[in-house]
Amino acid sequence: MAIFGWNGLMGLSLYFATLFAVYGTKNASFRDSAEFATIEKLAQRKAAAGERGPEAKKAAYGKLRAERLKAMAAGGERYATLAADEGFRKGYAEKQWVR
């Protein structure tokens, strides 16, 4: 009998709204692993990690960081001051890891 009252009606509408919100959304994930592999930063990291030997990896990571700094400088005014900062450039080039 309680389902026909005001609280029951509000509970039922909240239940259906929750169901619609959870199951009525679009799929935001990748369709397959091929689509995931086309992400540029992941492809760059995998290529750099595939190098043989520590010196080759350091060179590949250095090249990758230089490309990203160049892209950052060309990216517009958002990163212009950061890319122009010599301390940042030096610190970024010395990093031993790549995200």
Residue 56 lies in a domain: yes
Using one digit for the tens of pLDDT, what is the confidence trace for 6-16?
888 888 899 99
* pLDDT tens sequence across 87-96: 888 887 777 7
* Rg of the Cα atoms in the chain: 25
Q: Determine the structural domain holding residue 69 and report its residue range.
A: 36-93
35-94 per-position pLDDT tens digit: 777 787 777 777 777 778 888 888 888 888 888 888 777 777 777 788 788 888 888 777
Domains held by the chain: number = 1
Closest CA to 67 of 77, 59, 78, 76: 59
* Spatial separation of the C-alpha atoms in residues 56 and 79, rounded to whole Å: 29
Give domain status of residue 31, yes or no. no
Structural domain contains residue 99: no
Global pTM reads: 0.48
CA dist 28 and 1 (Å) reads 41
